[in-house]
Structure 1
């Protein structure tokens, strides 16, 4: 009984990590009503189109033949079981900072999910960006590997699990994050919508927001002006931030209010009607 309870606790903890990491949004092709976690969601970028893989425990088309070591290597090192590099469209640049305990829990949860037989779709990338061996050079420039157990809880949630900088930080022409503009917002992202500046800059960011404004955003998706977020941020609220414990949401808010202000006015595109789509 004790062993079964321990396994159940591990899976339950893994579900919480799964939610914070936003796995379901990327690995489910909701647009075509694809099976949960069976992959196929398209992400259009300047380098071509990436398609998320099947991460169900299906033996032939998912990760059913993976070992825990394979899974840990994927998140920690950005490497496939055969040793080839993953493209950094998979945010292992953030997940690498997860603790071993959280990786173990996430693995237990994924292994407990239903298997779905659905072959992965090949990426459609422009040359030379489809050459995996080149990712090794990219990693040498931009990949800081390893767990960050000493980080404050808020930063750990933001940058290891929820990978907020992956969307909210501008990138250079090679796809590396402009770290001096962390969280400063961008118009160049896979979903084609404006990603806002969430640094505490008074004019262009969230410097005038109160803690309660963040709480309303993360819990029900409401902005200070009464509008509600949509797009990728809407998914994040639905799948992730609304499922955080109150303590973790407070830690995340405290961290976001402490990052360096970046003065960067990110203007919504003409097709975007309001602040709703900008999130």
Structure 2
């Protein structure tokens, strides 16, 4: 009798788990890709902020999918989809309405509910994202390798089925408007819930209805960072344990550049909203201020500011006359190379009249005319040499959060090897403004915090193997 009961329980569980992989009913939105220049710009902004972090692995240049390590391992093994243009491994053969359904309902082309957010963005924004997916952006260069299948664990399958009910979100297939862009509460709510999906990540739990409850935006959702450490999303309500003492400038810099008010890097997997403009930042900030403050001192969240908390010493280098900028030569070797390319000026040429005709095949020397009628070469002043700042590069590397990604054993430590043979000038620019080279990079934008001389000190310390002397992050 007991054996029969156990067998029945096992069979019931198998049926339950089968429901997780079973097909669901969700409409196909009649949305078509919008490839107009304005739409492509909008679609790129949304994709870089909301999609790229999951669909482009740290060691990949294309959105060919990546392991979703941010999800707890007890749920199973998950991998994001290959979004490149390949017709077999990617989405090249997918119809617009199939992609629209995946975004709006989190339902795959096979009709199964996926472990990914569903977005209630308006039709125009959804069409813009489809347009960007169909574009010739290098992110979508064809990659024929299909993404590995997602696999629920025994516990994860039961939990997913129980929490979601294996039912997609309830929203219309079409006719969803996009509010007029501006610093309004309506637009702020739209961005926080439907486009950037701040609500889902900053509300604990997996229920599709969690963002409608009283605990919305109060943080506490568990994630796993690239080093395998558990992290919890921050409290975004304006309580003292959240954003109560954050200014609009603090908030904007954190979202756009990935830097908290104390100068530390925001924790993974928080994305960077690189295209965030002043109107969007104001709209989001004001909307969050309308929410009821919730006391939730999330473990590990930082920084919690008081009214008198010190901000980082933000640096905005003066690039006026005489200032050494990233356009100057960075070392004496480069300066020497420039000098070799210039006409020699050490020995004046023989006296000549201004009307003298140069010999056939010769190259005139840049000159100026003296009062006596003689010609004297123009003396070109050497460009200023940018010298590294006298700083403790190892300390700054840790302070600015670089070690969490690049110390030995960290997820991107091996990528530092690519820097060894790159010019200092290129690396200084990358350190300060990585988003100009890779719009979806999770690396913070340090231009306001790190001037060029400090960046040069960090670059040379990295190229000399400095990060290898650091301890493995825990």
TM-score, length-normalised on structure 2? 0.48
User: Could you tell me which of 39, 45, 52 is aligned with 2:80?
Assistant: 52
Q: Deviations over 1:122-157 (max 9, x none)?
A: 2232126448x94895255x8343446468111111
Deviates more, 1:36-45 or 1:62-71: 36-45
Q: What's the counterpart of residue 230 of structure 1?
A: 267
Q: Does residue 107 in structure 1 map to residue 130 in structure 2?
A: yes
Q: What's the counterpart of residue 124 of structure 1?
A: 151
User: Could you tell me which of 25, 31, 44 is aligned with 1:15?
Assistant: 44
Asked if the contact 1:158/1:252 (under 8 Å) is kept, the reply is yes
Q: CA RMSD in A?
A: 3.2
Asked if the contact 2:35/2:132 (under 8 Å) is kept, the reply is no
Q: Deviations over 1:17-59 (max 9, x none)?
A: 3234x211110111xx134210022233242231111011210
Q: Does residue 85 in structure 1 map to residue 112 in structure 2?
A: yes
Q: Please report how far the alpha carbon of residue 68 of structure 1 lies from its aligned counterpart in structure 2 after TM superposition.
A: 0.9
Q: Deviations over 1:200-228 (max 9, x none)?
A: 112x1111222222122223333233333
User: Could you tell me which of 54, 61, 82 is aligned with 2:89?
Assistant: 61
Q: Please report how far the alpha carbon of residue 90 of structure 1 lies from its aligned counterpart in structure 2 after TM superposition.
A: 0.9
Q: Does residue 220 in structure 1 map to residue 257 in structure 2?
A: yes
User: Could you tell me which of 188, 199, 210 is aligned with 1:177?
Assistant: 210
Structure 2 unaligned residues grouped into runs of 5+: 1-33, 180-184, 302-397, 405-474
Asked if the contact 1:199/1:262 (under 8 Å) is kept, the reply is yes
Q: Please report how far the alpha carbon of residue 6 of structure 1 lies from its aligned counterpart in structure 2 after TM superposition.
A: 6.6
Q: Does residue 145 in structure 1 map to residue 174 in structure 2?
A: no
Q: What is the distance in 1 between the residues matched to 2:192 and 2:84? A: 25
Asked if the contact 1:47/1:125 (under 8 Å) is kept, the reply is yes
Q: Structure 1 residues 124 and 85 mapped into 2: Cα distance closer, same or farther (>3 Å)?
A: closer
Asked if the contact 1:213/1:223 (under 8 Å) is kept, the reply is yes
Asked if the contact 1:28/1:41 (under 8 Å) is kept, the reply is no
Q: What's the counterpart of residue 186 of structure 1?
A: 220
* SS class of match (2:259): coil
Q: What is the distance in 2 between the residues matched to 1:80 and 1:166? A: 20
Q: What's the counterpart of residue 287 of structure 2?
A: 255
Q: Deviations over 1:166-199 (max 9, x none)?
A: 2211116x68636321111115224421221111
Asked if the contact 2:236/2:288 (under 8 Å) is kept, the reply is yes
Q: What is the distance in 1 between the residues matched to 2:132 and 2:35? A: 13
Q: What is the distance in 2 between the residues matched to 1:255 and 1:214? A: 12
Q: What's the counterpart of residue 168 of structure 1?
A: 202
Q: What is the distance in 2 between the residues matched to 1:263 and 1:79? A: 35
TM-score, length-normalised on structure 1? 0.79
Q: What is the distance in 1 between the residues matched to 2:113 and 2:66? A: 16
Q: Deviations over 1:86-120 (max 9, x none)?
A: 22x3101xx1x111111111111111132222211
Structure 1 unaligned residues grouped into runs of 5+: none
User: Could you tell me which of 181, 189, 198 is aligned with 2:236?
Assistant: 198
| Total equivalences in the alignment | 255
Asked if the contact 1:187/1:266 (under 8 Å) is kept, the reply is no
Q: Structure 1 residues 188 and 213 mapped into 2: Cα distance closer, same or farther (>3 Å)?
A: same
Q: Structure 1 residues 81 and 231 mapped into 2: Cα distance closer, same or farther (>3 Å)?
A: closer
